[in-house]
Amino acid sequence: MTRWWHASGAIAELEPLAGAVEELGALHEEGWDFVPITSRQSEFRRFTTYSLMKHAKGIIDPDDAFFTEFYGANRVQQVGSSKAPIYRRLGCVAAIDDFVKHCEGAANPVLPDGRLAFEPLPAFLIGDEPWNQADRLSSGILRCNDWQEFGANFHTHVAATLRAA
């Protein structure tokens, strides 16, 4: 069912969450750039590009989007790139996601041998949804129940990290 829904093009008609465009737009006006890093498969690039052009034109460049293909058909986790190495490669100063695992990878980038893969990034976990629950969030992850809460906390959370670096 999920595959049909994506392939039908319905994904391109989704509306952004309330406040997302406004908050990201305000930050973009201040000089912040945003790069979409999605778990979607690259076959959905056309729909994602359409949606970004429709809703975030001038804020987010859809040509910059990364498709990690972290999930395959039917949302089954497959071997593929997680978002954390991309954050590092791009020199990101923060991560914004609705999935705990990706926020954890940014805020607590520990290699199997216990070393840090890169300096931890502040991570914003957007929403309080069934799929993004955790018994405990690592320090460096701030749950924002909505985009307004994200906007209210962005400067403090990111600035504190940049000052510490």
Dihedral class, residue 69 (left if φ above 0, else alpha if ψ from -120 to 50, else beta): left
Answer yes or no: are the C-beta atoms of 107 and 141 closer than 8 Å.
yes
Read off the pLDDT of residues 100-128 as tens digits, 9 standing for 90 and up: 989 999 999 888 899 988 889 999 999 99
**pLDDT tens string 4-31:** 555 666 766 778 889 999 999 999 999 9
- For 67-102, the pLDDT digits (tens) are 887 765 555 555 445 788 888 889 999 999 999 989
**Residues 59/31, Cβ–Cβ less than 8 Å:** no
Res 79: pLDDT = 45
Compute the radius of gyration of the chain from its Cα atoms. 16
Residues belonging to the chain: 165
- Residue-level pLDDT at 134: 92
Alpha-carbon gap, residue 89 to 14, rounded angstroms: 29
Q: From the centroid of its chain, how far is CA 37?
A: 6
For the chain, the three-class secondary structure string (H helix, E strand, C coil) is CHHHHHHCCHHHHCCCCCCHHHHHHHHHHCCCCECCEECCCHHHHHHHHHHHHHHHCCCECHHHCEECCCECHHHCECCCCCCHHHHHHHCCCCEEECCHHHHHHHHCCECCCCCECCCCCCEEEECCCHHHCCCCCCCCEEEECCHHHHHHHHHHHHHHHHHHC
19-68 tens-digit pLDDT: 999 999 999 999 999 999 988 777 778 888 888 899 999 999 999 988 88
